[in-house]
């Protein structure tokens, strides 16, 4: 198993492997997205209180979940890069930041659209919303560090430190609806309890969550491949790829 991870950490091996995986992630993402949207828009019922606006949930909730998930991937990859100096871990962390920022922005934007009919305001300084906004600033800080520091390895270490410091915000986001008096809806999943959402709504929600996960895998692999080519451009195997036009 350790030998496999050592092999996987090789930029050349990862580049070749990701080339095979990208189409699978892309087509699977499209399939789950279409089925999830069909369920969410046409088969799931309207909520008795929120009416048709509840359908925003099928984009908002998966985007919010992925905003946390991607950040944790960055934190783990950043920690591996700091401790073991594995170049691929640094590449995954750097490639994930813009995707995570996009999910976070989407969660905030759809939350505003959902909040207007429910709360009567586009934005309130709610604990969940405020901590999610801080998460967006953390993502932007990582992107800024990666762009501002010319040396990629130095930029990776600086952004990894910022990412690891920002991990404290993740449990705050997750548990904010339990720790403080908030207008935000409580979590759907609570430990080992049954989900608080009817199966007719839970099914499209989970389908969309899987679609968003696959989208992240699809895009991060493509971004990582580009980053590998940029960092390894002086190596013989990349020059061979350029010569062969692949």
Q: What is the pLDDT of residues 85-124, one digit of tens each?
A: 999 999 999 999 999 999 999 999 999 998 888 788 888 8
Contact 214, 69 (CB under 8 A): no
Domain-located, residue 218: yes
Q: How far is CA 18 from CA 14, 29, 81, 146, 199, in A?
A: 6, 16, 20, 23, 35
Would you say residue 105 lies in a domain? yes
Q: Judge whether 74 lies within some domain.
A: yes
pLDDT digits (tens, 9 = 90+) for 129-176: 999 999 999 999 999 999 999 999 999 999 999 999 999 999 999 888
In this structure, is residue 66 part of a structural domain? yes
Would you say residue 189 lies in a domain?
no
Number of domains in the chain: 1
Domain-located, residue 7:
no
pLDDT > 70? residue 35: yes
pTM: 0.94
Q: To the nearest whole percent, how much of the chain has pLDDT over 70?
A: 91
Whether residue 24 is contained in a domain is answered as no
Nearest to 184 by CA among 38, 64, 102, 68: 64
The domain in which residue 218 lies consists of 54-183+199-230
For residue 89, tell me if it sits in a domain.
yes
């Amino acid at each position: 198993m350790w030998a496999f991870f050592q092999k996987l950490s090789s930029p050349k091996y990862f580049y070749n492997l990701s080339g095979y995986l990208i189409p699978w992630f892309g087509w699977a993402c499209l399939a789950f997205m279409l089925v999830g949207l069909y369920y969410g828009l046409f088969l799931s019922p309207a909520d008795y209180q929120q009416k048709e606006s509840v359908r925003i949930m099928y984009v908002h909730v998966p985007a919010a979940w992925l905003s946390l998930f991607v950040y944790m991937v960055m934190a783990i990859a950043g920690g591996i890069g700091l401790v073991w100096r594995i170049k691929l871990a640094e590449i995954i962390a750097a490639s994930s930041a813009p995707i995570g920022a996009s999910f976070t922005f989407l969660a905030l934007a759809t939350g505003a659209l959902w909040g207007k009919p429910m709360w009567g305001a586009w934005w309130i300084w709610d604990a969940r919303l405020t901590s999610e906004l801080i998460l967006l600033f953390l993502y932007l800080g990582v992107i800024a560090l990666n762009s501002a520091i010319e040396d990629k390895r130095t930029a990776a270490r600086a952004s990894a430190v910022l990412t690891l410091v920002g991990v404290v915000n993740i449990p705050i986001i997750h548990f904010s609806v339990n720790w403080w008096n908030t207008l935000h809806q409580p979590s759907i999943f609570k430990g080992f309890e049954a989900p608080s959402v009817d199966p007719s709504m839970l099914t499209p929600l989970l389908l969309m969550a899987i679609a968003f996960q696959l989208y992240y895998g699809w895009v991060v692999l493509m971004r990582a491949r580009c980053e590998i080519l940029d960092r390894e451009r002086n190596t013989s195997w990349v020059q061979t790829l350029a010569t062969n036009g692949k």
